[in-house]
Amino acid sequence: MLRFLFALFILVPLIEIYLLIQVGSLIGALPTVGLVVFTAILGALLLRHQGLYTYARVQQATARGELPTVPMLEGVVLMICGAMLLTPGFFTDALGFLALIPPLRRAMILKILERGVIVGQAGPPPRGPEAGRRTIEGDYRRED
């Protein structure tokens, strides 16, 4: 994991610098800066729209009594996507815009859930006399 993060923090800025230089040499420095600012503004507007839509889906699922797993994870992906869109550069903007496409975002989240990357247990496992016990939550009503 440490190697992955190290590679990420080295490779992404290098890719961004390379792309900025290439685009700048093709269209000029000022248009390149304008394009970076434009993509950041457009990304922020699209992110706001998608975020509000996802928030509404979380509320609807909660109102139906369902666990809003996918919409909540979509919110997390949208937060990461927002950080990428606000980072100046074309590579992170491309990744951020891809995450704004709802079918791609949902497919990615479902794939992560299938692989079991996200574990559903909250907190440490029980120890001591509680280790063999299981708690089943529910409603109880006595009918005599």
pLDDT score for 115: 80
pLDDT tens, residue by residue, 17-45: 999 999 999 999 999 999 999 998 998 89
What is the DSSP-derived secondary structure letter of residue 65?
A: T
- CA distance between the termini of the chain: 58
Q: Give start and end residues of each alpha helix (H) in 28-101.
A: 29-63, 69-86, 90-99
pLDDT tens, residue by residue, 96-143: 999 889 899 899 888 888 887 655 555 555 565 655 566 667 777 788
| Interatomic CA distance for residues 7 and 80, integer angstroms | 18
Count the alpha carbons within 13 Å of 60 in the hemisphere toward its beta carbon: 8
124 three-class SS: coil
